[in-house]
Structure formats: C-alpha cells, structure tokens
Amino acid sequence: MKRKNWVVMITVIFFLIGAMAGSAAALDEIRIGTIGPITGWATIFGQGNLNGIELALDEYNNEFNGVPIKIVSEDTKADVEVMRTKLDSLKNRDKVHLIIGPSLGHEGMAAVDWGARNPEVPMLIGYSAPEDITMRKATNSVVRPGWTGAQVIFNFGQYCAKDLGYKKIIIVGQDYSYPWDQAAGFIRGFLENGGEEVKRVWHPVEAVDFSSIMAKLLGMSKEYDAVLNNSGGAQVVAFFKQWKQFGLDKVYPQILGQANVPIVSMLSELGDSSLGVYSSLHYYDGNPSAANQKFRESFKKKYGHYPDVIALQGYDAVHVAFKAMKAIDGKVDDPHKFIAALRQVRMSADESPRGAFYFDKYANPVQNIYIKKVVKKDGRLMNEAVKTYTEVSQFGPYADMAEKYMAAPATTRDYPPGDKASYFKEIEKYFGKDYVENLKKNNGWTD
Amino acid sequence: MQSTSKTKATLLLASLALMIAVPWIASDYFVMMCIRVMYFGMLTLSLCFLAGELGVVSLMQASFFGISGYFIAILQTQYQIPFPIPPLVGIGVAVLFAALTGLLVIRVQGIYFLMLTLVLGQLVWALASQWASVTRGDSGITDIFAPVIFGISTEKSKGAFYLFELVIFSGVLYFLWALKRSPFGLMLRGIRDSESRMVMLGYPVAFLRYVAFIFAAFVASVGGVFFAYFTGLINPHSVSLTANVETLLSGILGGIQTLFGAILGTAILKILDLVLSGITHRYLLIMGILFLIVVMFAPKGAAGALQRLWDSVASRSSRGIMSVAKRASDDS
C-alpha cells in the first residue's frame, strides 16, 4: 500500500489546490492586461512597451473618471505557446477589459489568431509589425496603434532611388521573417522608382562575426552604391564596428538602416559611427513637437534615459484606449462598443509624439513616415527628419489596390525578386499592365 | 494484503473520477492548465522513457513533437484535409523521422548521443524557420482549429478537449507503463545496466535500442497533436533548443527515471511558471533557485523526494494503522 499510494495522494492534493485557483475579480475597476517579453533575449521590446504604458497611465493618475485602473502584466518569454496561455489567463483569471501587447512579430501573428477566437476581448497590438495582423488575418477585436514593417520602408526605397540617386544596393540582414519583410518593402519602393537592383545577403540570426561578409562587400563596392543594414540588437553593433575595421566607410557613402536600426537605445552603443545613417520610421526622436518633448522629458524623469519608438508604442496605446473610453463614457463592460470606439480614434499631432494618425478599415494607422538621419545636436546623437511623407497607409503606394496587394505571394527570403526585370514581370502579373505603364510614364510614384 | 489492493484500486478509481470530473467542478482556467500539462507531459514522458530505460538523454524529442504539429498545420490550413488524417499523418511522419534518425543516433551513447540529437534537433529547427514557403518561417502557421469529435466541437468546448486528451494521455501512460514491465522493457533495462552482458547473451541490442527510440518519438508526437490543436498555432520555437532544454528541465525537476516524475516535473514547471509570473517579474529567479534545491537535495527529482517523504510517514504510522485494521477485522 505504501509504495504506490503516494502517487495517487499527490495527484489528488494537486488537483484540490488547482481547483481553488482562478477566481474572478471585483467589478469596480478597469483592468488592463499587458503582454510581452519581459525576460529573455527580447526583454528590450516587452519592457520598453510596458514602460511606455506605465508612463502614460501616470499622466492619468492611474484612473479614469475616478475609476481606478489596474494593470496586470504578463511575460511571454518570446514564446507564443506561453503567450497563448497567458492571454487565456488574462481573459479567464483576471477578466481584463483590454489587452495591450505583444511586441514581437511572431507574437503578433499568434495574438491576432487568438483574437479571432476570442472576439469579445479588445486588444491593442504593441510594437509587433507583420503586415498580416492588420491585413490577411485582420480581425475586428484587434487594433494596432503601431506600424507594419513594410509601411515604414516603402518610402525609404523611393527616397534612396530618387533623392539619393542610388541605382544598386546591397541589403545585409538577419535571416528571418522580419528582415525579409523590411527588404521586400524597400525593394518595392526602390525598384519602382528607378533603382536597378537590390542584392540580399542573409546571415544567421545570432552571427556576430561579419568578416566574410565585409570582405564580400569590399569586393562588390565597385558595382554597388550603398549597403543597407537590416539586422537588430547586438548584430547591428557588431556590424558597425567591423564596418569601420574593414575600412568600408571609405568605399561606401554611409550605411543605410532598416526601420529600427538607429533607435535611441542603440545610438549610445554605436557612438559616432552611426552619424549620417539614413533610415525611416513612423517616429523620430528629434521631433520638436510639444507632445514629443513632453513624452521624452517625462520618460527621462521616470526611467533615467530617453525613450525610443518601442516605449512610444505602449504610450500611444494607452492614450488611444483613453480616447475610446471617453467616447463610450467608460463603459468598458461592453466590449463591442469599446472595440468600435477604439477603431474610430483619431489622434492629433498634439496628442501623439509621432504626429497625427487614424486607423484604416483594417485598424492599422494611416500616419506620417519620416526619412531620418542621425545627427549630433548639443553633443547628443539623435535622429532628424530629412523628409516627411504624410498619411501613408499600411499599403503604402498601393492603397487603391489593397486587394491586389494582398493577393500577391507572401514575402520570403528572396521574394519579391531583387533585379528590375524579373521584379517588373512579377508586378505586371499581380498589379496589371496599366500599373506598370503608369510607373514608367510617371518615372515612379507620384508624391 | 487483500485490503491493500482494494484500497489501491479505490484510490485509483477515485483519482480517475476526480480527473474526469474536472471540467464540471473546476474553472476554465484550471482545465486549460491541465490540458497544457498533459501535452507537455507526453513530451517529457518520451524523454524520461529514454533516460530511464536506455540511460541516454535526448535533445531532439521536441522535434518529433513539432513535426506532428507542423504536419497537422500544413495539411489542415494549406490543403484543407479533414480530421483525422492530419494527426495520423503527423504522427506517422514523426515516427518515420525517428526511424531514419534512429539509425544514426542509436550507435552512440552518453555525451555523443546528446550531441547527435542536439544537431538533429537543430536541423529540424533550422528547417522550420528557414523553409518559409512551407512553414511560414518565424511567424509560424496559425488558424489551426481543433476537430469535431462525436459531434462535439473540441474547439469550442475546452472540457471536451480535456476529456479527449485525458483518454489519449491515459492510454499513452498505460502503454509506457506496460512497456516497462514487458519482456521488452526488461531487456532494455538489461542493456542499460550492462550492454556487453546483453550482447554476450545473444540479444539484438542495437535493434532493441532502435525500437525504444521510435516508441519514445511516437509518444512525443502524440503530445504534439494536442499542442497544435489546443494552441491553434505552431512556430519554430516549439522545435527549438529552448523547448528541448525545458523538457529536460521538467524531467530533472520531477525525476528523470520515472513516468510519474515526468508528469510531476512538467506540472510543477508549467504551473509555477504561470502562477509566479502573475505575481512577480523575477519569477525565473525563484524557479532557478527551486531547480538548484532539487538538484542538490533530491537527486531523484521531486517525485523521488516525495516518495521518500511518503515512505517515512507511512512507516511511522503504519503500526497504528495495522492495529486499527486488525481490530476492524476482529470485529467483523
């Protein structure tokens, strides 16, 4: 009897304890769940988002019309299975009225899938950028006050071809879907506006030794005009260092960066080697608007350093939520009304540090895209806007033919093709002959 | 003795009844936790079966888990093939993959086995993350929906999903339990303890190890089916090194050589994770310390420690119980 009964006993005890867990909470508060990677390699994204959320809530004294706001924050460890479980926890255990997050690409895809199955929980996506969250997989309850990877870089391709006058560009990036998407958006803008060729060089996600790539870039410098670095985190820092070591700064004009290459947190690590780097995003830290100055200074006061676009995402999400709550008199108990109100929110340039924006019918913002350049101001490195494209939707220049855009094949590591001839063959197939004729006639996109 | 087996049977039945009753008596949240523990439990079981019976540690069990998940995802979302074909194909392919890789890994032992399985596991991960036209790369495949079984949608009813999984889970557990007690299991234990002796006695040692490896892969792939259906998605993380190491950690935490240890370890790790992370952001630190304590003071894992505790309590009180039992039987 002794030998085996303990197994059964423990099972029973375990179940009794478990059955007691998971009771509902009270009703006289507004509960907001946040979700994102707070531990592991992606901490910077989850924690940044959370910092932004807390800062914005401070501005409202953590209450709405006297009703206290309770934040329940959960960690995903950048694992979508964990995230799904935590989303279920937020819904069933904490009975939250709104979820803000997640921050990573694959997390966002999993979150929108969860949202489609739980249409009664409003969700505001954080920094997560895959376009399908608000395109092919878009669902009513999921609103993204953020950006898509391609949205912010279409115009950068255009800028490099038209304003900088480059013809051939090499993209060096980490070999996974986010950089692939960035490259795809860039290629569209670049080739359709007079660029000839974009060559993609992919390296393993964790690589920090780029000597073979540098040697290759050195050899290709006669044929190509510029290099676009399309990595993230430690890989960018290593790339910039070796770029100088191999003397590539003497053969190429300057590095071009993908959307979040010279973000604020990275500038201090890159130092002066980041001077002159061009990139594009829906936010730039040098924005002189009152909203941005307030955001930056109060963030610095609370956390001791300046915020970047990741924190902005959480900050804006809270303001969007409050604007929607105002519209429905704080009746967050009715999720469908709340969702409808969220989708109607229009932010002005006084309210958001990034400038004005509103949501398209798929609930992704239509917003300004800034071409930015790293400069030194008052002894500090920051991004300045050199050109602004206003009211850019997630479909970029294809806003009128969203259906066709969504019918084209999904991006892969080598789709769409990077040379002009085969690229035009592809777009003729999906966007039609007229579109290609127009491009040729107008010499690219019309601003 | 008779009363012992009777109490044992009653207790077993009672706990079984309790487990079946879960969807009616417990919250949705708890049902979800159980579902999760069961599918990860099957993954850990496959690792612990190999560790306990063959004495080798594998770092590729999550690959089999993920392969069946991926096949379900691909067949269901890209080819619209109806249930039950996708899970059967998924398990079939995972077993086939085990049959192929088994030919490689079964020749080696110890650290070499660990390294080889690590390499093969990473190969599967690289394939899942790079072959984007089929696996959609790091974004993974979403939109997997749990099937309708006997007219009940397990997608809508978590309770039904739980019960269905419980049946399969119990079946898998029984399968492993019976396997351990079969002549086959005894032969495996013989190999583990002294391979040269078993070779000398004329047993087909390599073949037996090979078959055991395939059985373990089968168990993991069954877990993968429920993983894919319950979470509704699959991405390269489920076949990553992290997933494999977490499986190993659950095994060590619970007790790597026993089946119950595998389940206990998974339950502790997965539930603690959920409960603690709601309380503090430093929950990984607490779990790390817990893990350290287990490794230092309970080398046989939580299951081993609890068994020792139970034994000492039982032996202290057994004299009292015996006398009560004796009086009772005298009365009747």
Query: What CA–CA distance (Å, rounded) separates B257 from B52?
Result: 4
- Overall pTM surpassing 0.90 (yes/no): no
Lookup: tokens for B158:
């978590």
Query: Quick one: average pLDDT of A145-156?
Result: 92
Q: Longest Cα pair distance anywhere in chain A, in angstroms?
A: 89
Nearest to B169 by CA among B42, B260, B37, B40: B42
Q: Are A21 and B30 in contact (CB < 8 Å)?
A: yes
Nearest to B255 by CA among B269, B241, B242, B243: B269
Q: Are B138 and A176 in contact (CB < 8 Å)?
A: yes
A89: contact with B, CB 8 A cutoff: yes
Q: Are A22 and B143 in contact (CB < 8 Å)?
A: no
Q: Are A74 and B277 in contact (CB < 8 Å)?
A: yes
Nearest to B264 by CA among A9, A422, A428: A9
Residue range A30-147+290-366, CATH number:
3.40.50.2300
pLDDT, tens digit (0-9, with 9 covering 90-100), for A189-218: 999 999 999 999 998 888 889 999 999 999
pLDDT of residue B329: 52
Minimum CA–CA partner of A116 in chain B: B143
DSSP class of B153: E
Residue range A154-286+369-442, CATH number:
3.40.50.2300
| Domain coordinates in residue numbering, chain A | 30-147+290-366, 154-286+369-442
Helix (H, G, I), strand (E, B) or coil at B76: helix
pLDDT, tens digit (0-9, with 9 covering 90-100), for B189-224: 888 888 888 888 888 888 999 999 999 999 999 999
Band of pLDDT at residue A16, cut at 50, 70 and 90: low
pLDDT, tens digit (0-9, with 9 covering 90-100), for A268-296: 888 888 888 999 999 999 899 999 999 99
Q: Are B139 and A132 in contact (CB < 8 Å)?
A: yes
pLDDT, tens digit (0-9, with 9 covering 90-100), for A297-348: 999 999 998 998 999 999 999 999 999 999 998 889 899 999 999 999 999 9
pLDDT of residue A34: 93
pLDDT of residue A290: 93
For A213-218, the CB contacts below 8 A with 24+ separation are A213/A172, A214/A242, A214/A243, A214/A245, A214/A246, A214/A248, A215/A246, A217/A170, A217/A172, A217/A246, A217/A248, A217/A252, A218/A246, A218/A247, A218/A248, A218/A251
Decide if A350 contacts A330 (C-beta within 8 A): no
Measured between its terminal Cα atoms, the distance across chain B in Å is 17
Query: Which of B18, B132, B307 has the CB atom closest to A412's CB atom?
Result: B132
Decide if A231 contacts A239 (C-beta within 8 A): yes
Query: What CA–CA distance (Å, rounded) separates A88 from A208?
Result: 37
A414: contact with B, CB 8 A cutoff: no
Residue entry with tokens 């966007």: A431
Q: Are A180 and B137 in contact (CB < 8 Å)?
A: yes
Residues of A in contact with B77 (CB under 8 A): none
pLDDT, tens digit (0-9, with 9 covering 90-100), for B22-42: 888 888 888 888 999 999 999
Asked if domains A30-147+290-366 and A154-286+369-442 share a fold, the reply is yes
Minimum CA–CA partner of A131 in chain B: B139
Residues of A in contact with B233 (CB under 8 A): 80, 84, 109-110, 113
Query: Which of B26, B142, B284 has the CB atom closest to A110's CB atom?
Result: B142
State how far the alpha carbon of B31 is from the alpha carbons of A89, A237, B71, B284, in Å. Answer: 11, 46, 26, 24
Query: Which of B15, B36, B283 has the CB atom closest to A11's CB atom?
Result: B15
DSSP class of B296: H
Band of pLDDT at residue A24, cut at 50, 70 and 90: very low
Interface test with A, best of B20, B22, B138, B238 (most A CBs within 10 A): B138
Q: What is the ipTM of this complex?
A: 0.76
Q: Show which of residues 176-215 on chain A sit within 8 Å of chain B, judged by CB atoms.
A: 176-178, 180
Minimum CA–CA partner of A12 in chain B: B15
Decide if B229 contacts B161 (C-beta within 8 A): yes
Residues of A in contact with B283 (CB under 8 A): 75
Tell me the residue length of chain A.
447
Band of pLDDT at residue A26, cut at 50, 70 and 90: very low
Q: What's chain A look like in SS3?
A: CHHHHHHHHHHHHHHHHHHHCCCCCCCCCEEEEEEECCCCCCHHHHHHHHHHHHHHHHHCCCEECCEEEEEEEEECCCCHHHHHHHHHHHHHCCCCCEEECCCCHHHHHHHHHHHHHCCCCCEECCCCCCHHHHCCCCCCCEECCCCCCCCCCHHHHHHHHHCCCCCEEEEEEECCHHHHHHHHHHHHHHHCCCCCEEEEEEECCCCCCCHHHHHHHHHHCCCCCEEEEECCCHHHHHHHHHHHHCCHHHCCCCEEECCCCCCHHHHHHHHHHHCCCEEEECCCCCCCCHHHHHHHHHHHHHHCCCCCHHHHHHHHHHHHHHHHHHHCCCCCCCHHHHHHHHHHCEECCCCCCCCCEEECCCCCEEEEEEEEEEEEECCEEEEEEEEEEEEECCCHHHHHHHHHHHHCCCCECCECCCEHHHHHHHHHHHHCHHHHHHHHHHCCCCC
